[in-house]
Structure 1
Amino acid sequence: MGNNLHLKRNNSRNFFTVAPGIWGMKDIFVNIYMIMNPFDGNWVLVDAGLFTSYSKIKKMAARLFGDNSQPSAIILTHGHFDHVGSLQKLAEEWNVPVYSHYLEIPYLTGKSSYPPGDPTVGGGLMSLMSWAYPKHPINIWNHINILPENETVPGLPEWKYFHTPGHSPGHISLFREGDGVLIAGDALVTTKAESAFSVMLQIKKISGPPKYFTPDWVSARQSVKTLMKLEPKTVASGHGKPMYGKEVRKSLHKLSEDFYHLAVPVQGRYILEPAVSDASGVIYIPPSNFNKKRMVIKLLSFVAVSAAAYVLLKQKSKNKRRQEILSYEIW
């Protein structure tokens, strides 16, 4: 009840409370998080959203921590385009250290692109559009630092990080054992990431990593198992609303136990053979049967059907309203 009140109250400020000292914000379809260190009052930014997130992050920080406040560090769950969109600008302006797992460094220092998205996995518009998602690296070599090997999180003494690869080679998730809060990144998400409707409407559902951008399903399964064993009481992810209590535990156990049925797509480029990477970046990508022309036609058809459905619903709503008005006039 209390968590729902926090979520509702903070929506007017474009951010929400996850748990004590943890706040999140959705920008279009992806979340960023701010976590306060209760021992010194400093705070840490987790992920940097899209390029549109820059001003929103600044405003959120000002509301929470005061004008011109800046974090002690930026922690990256991974370096995909929707998690680092505002990173370069923020890191240069704030001049603060940025931390990631060492296996994510090539994609943050201009050395390697990620494996391409896979629009053949199905599930909705987000998947269909994934052939166009940026996969090229950014270059913040003068700000990037490697996370400590002992799994501690710089600036957050109550937290530990866990290496949760699959969605990306150096993906990490953050865990606060004291109250069981998990910041999962995209190792698992709390909505159906492949569906634009689910993502935009924030429909709650514990799901595996986004299918269209996950190139190693064996590692992804092991990562979900790792997170399940933590028995989190709160899960906040890169996409979707936070989820709490028994709802989380039951869904997470089910996802872990039946991962290949619930999370892995029936078809796709990386199903039988994963992309291979090492500390230098991607070294092998399996061949694709993707037909770009056919996919564009499919995408246009999907958009046309969605638009027609929207118009019909709008007209139905208008007719219903007209009938209500007429009934009042007759009365």
Structure 2
Amino acid sequence: MNYGRDYKFIPATSVGSGVGIEVAPNIYSYTVQIVNICLVGDKNNFVLVDAGMPRSAEEIIKMTEDRFGEKSKPSAIILTHGHFDHVGAIIELIDHWEVPVYAHEEELPFLTGARKYPEPDPTVEGGLVAKISPLFPNEPINISMHVKALPKDQSVPYMMGWKWIHTPGHTPGHVSLFREEDRALIAGDAFVTVKQESLYKVVTQQQEISGPPRYLTADWNRAWESVKTLQSLYPDTAVTGHGLPMTGELLTESLEKLVTNFEDIAIPDYGKYVNKRKH
């Protein structure tokens, strides 16, 4: 197993770093610097959704043991996608826990060293985070002996009652996770609840509905369709990859607004991956 040659610690943080939130029954969201990971389940059976920032393995292990007890470990790790801030500690966690990893089959090339993501776009409309995005790790990692494709029937291993939904655009194999029973959604970066391009808003975690992070989104048409798909589920609770959880009427209204005004809210006015002009 190996990370890309550009793997490194990223000195970015927010006021939410190190904070955990009980979002819904058996859903615990925890912020590692600027990205959210989730523990889903109880002490008898739980999974980790996403694997945080580079060099964060010790923090994630401690958070897991604080929640479920010493030497507790997940049954599996589920990845919404393979960007550096969602797989940053994956190799150390695999070594420590010896558990399988699951991702969408279209994401596997980026997790097995076969393909590299498109380069981050520092020219995209946005704030300082977008401008410094070329500093972020972008080389493919290789966990080929430990990662498997999610089941084709949309079930999620070790997550009874959940299904995965293909929500591409931000990456080709991006998935979101949905629990019908209480309409709980783990959205990854299909949409987020902070303006991720703005350093000030990332640091302060100022909440607002937004599309996927602009500097790493290469297909805006598919990203829009993915948001429409998630809005059609009428989720009651959403944990996103960046920003605070959103619930109830605020979530419903915000998603409707995002779908209706996606070109204005989400799609940047300029950038090398912009493939749809605003009307």
Q: Above 0.5 in TM-score?
A: yes
1:64 Cα shift? 1.0
1:247 partner letter: L
CA distance in 1, matches of 2:17, 2:272: 41
1:147 Cα shift? 0.1
CA deviations 1:75-115 (Å, max 9, x no partner) are 00000000000001101221111000000001101111100
Equivalent residue for 1:44, pick from 34, 42, 47: 47
Equivalent residue for 1:196, pick from 194, 199, 210: 199
Q: Is the 8 A contact 2:28 2:38 kept in 1?
A: yes
User: What is the match of residue 33 of structure 2?
Assistant: 28
Higher RCO (C-alpha under 8 Å, 6+ residues apart): 2
Q: Is the 8 A contact 2:76 2:158 kept in 1?
A: yes
Equivalent residue for 1:76, pick from 74, 79, 86: 79
Equivalent residue for 1:14, pick from 16, 19, 40: 19
1:13 Cα shift? 7.0
1:94 partner letter: W
1:12 Cα shift? 11
User: What is the match of residue 227 of structure 2?
Assistant: 224
Query: In proportion to residue count, which structure has more helix?
Result: 1
1:122 Cα shift? 2.4
Moved over 6 A (4+): none
> In the alignment, does 2:168 pair up with 1:172?
no
> In the alignment, does 2:165 pair up with 1:162?
yes
Report the 3-state secondary structure (helix = DSSP H, G, I; strand = E; otherwise coil) of the residue aligned with 1:148: coil
1:258 Cα shift? 1.4
Equivalent residue for 1:112, pick from 110, 115, 120: 115
Q: Is the 8 A contact 1:235 1:242 kept in 2?
A: yes
User: What is the match of residue 8 of structure 2?
Assistant: none
State the TM-score, normalizing by the size of structure 1.
0.77
1:251 partner letter: S
Pairing of 1:233-244 with structure 2 (within 5 A)? 233-244=236-247
User: What is the match of residue 145 of structure 1?
Assistant: 148
Percent of matched pairs sharing the same residue:
50
CA distance in 2, matches of 1:133, 1:149: 32
Q: Is the 8 A contact 2:17 2:33 kept in 1?
A: no
Report the 3-state secondary structure (helix = DSSP H, G, I; strand = E; otherwise coil) of the residue aligned with 1:120: coil
CA deviations 1:256-308 (Å, max 9, x no partner) are 111111100000001128xxxxxxxxxxxxxxxxxxxxxxxxxxxxxxxxxxx
Report the 3-state secondary structure (helix = DSSP H, G, I; strand = E; otherwise coil) of the residue aligned with 1:197: helix
Q: Is the 8 A contact 1:47 1:77 kept in 2?
A: yes
Which segments of 5 or more consecutive residues in structure 1 lack a partner in the other structure?
1-10, 274-331
User: What is the match of residue 285 of structure 1?
Assistant: none
Report the 3-state secondary structure (helix = DSSP H, G, I; strand = E; otherwise coil) of the residue aligned with 2:228: helix
1:179 partner letter: D
Pairing of 1:284-299 with structure 2 (within 5 A)? none
Equivalent residue for 1:123, pick from 113, 123, 126: 126
Report the 3-state secondary structure (helix = DSSP H, G, I; strand = E; otherwise coil) of the residue aligned with 1:198: helix
Equivalent residue for 1:90, pick from 65, 68, 93: 93
> In the alignment, does 2:44 pair up with 1:60?
no
CA distance in 1, matches of 2:56, 2:239: 18
CA distance in 1, matches of 2:68, 2:33: 23
2:143 partner letter: I
User: What is the match of residue 302 of structure 1?
Assistant: none
Which segments of 5 or more consecutive residues in structure 2 lack a partner in the other structure?
1-15
> In the alignment, does 2:253 pair up with 1:255?
no
1:27 Cα shift? 1.3
> In the alignment, does 2:270 pair up with 1:267?
yes
CA distance in 2, matches of 1:203, 1:222: 26
CA deviations 1:48-93 (Å, max 9, x no partner) are 0112321111111111111011100000000000000000110122
User: What is the match of residue 11 of structure 2?
Assistant: none
Report the 3-state secondary structure (helix = DSSP H, G, I; strand = E; otherwise coil) of the residue aligned with 1:173: strand
The root-mean-square deviation of aligned C-alpha atoms, in Å, is 1.5
Q: Is the 8 A contact 2:17 2:32 kept in 1?
A: no
1:22 partner letter: I
Q: Which has the larger radius of gyration?
A: 1
